Amino acid sequence: MTELLDLPTLRYASMSEVTVRLVAAVFLAGLIGLDREVRQKPVGLKTLMLVALGAASFCVTVMEMIAQTGGGESFAHAPDRVMQGVIGGIGFLGAGAIIQEGVRVRGVTTGATIWVVGGVGMASGFGFYLHAALVTGIALFVLVILGWIERMLFPGRGESAEEVD
């Protein structure tokens, strides 16, 4: 029974470091998700947090896999391949958020936000906390501040593609 309670020994990073990476991904994505929730957008807090968590977990997992197997030539490009797969998968999720209704397109900002949050998750997963925080701050600036400026400068765009998003 005690074997079930023992935490695995990690080689790439300690369990506390892995926890920090995953929690950082969820927390930073949550900041972006809160903005989406407040604006009652279709993709919000939980979805964005899960996207970032998933991206971070793939990054942590591949690095641990390399550490446990000793790496070598066969794993030289493993992080690159994981990043490509994660980016493609997140792009697929983002594309699913985009809806075309005749000449109107909705959800483009939501799709882009999903993609950015995936980047935040990957940066956190690889331990690049400053990068992840910077991307989060810039994304919030674009969504909140530039969104406010856009609404002030173009008040009639309430039914436009981006505002409906």
Nearest Cα residue to 127 out of 32, 28, 18: 18
- The pLDDT, as a whole number, for residue 105 is 85
- The pLDDT, as a whole number, for residue 161 is 46
Residues in a beta bridge with 104: 101
**Assigned token pair, 158:** 């309430």
* Statement: residue 77 has pLDDT above 60: yes
Q: What is the dihedral of CA 153, 150, 162, 25, to 10 degrees?
A: 180
Query: Stretch 108-124: mean pLDDT, rounded?
Result: 95
- The pLDDT, as a whole number, for residue 66 is 87
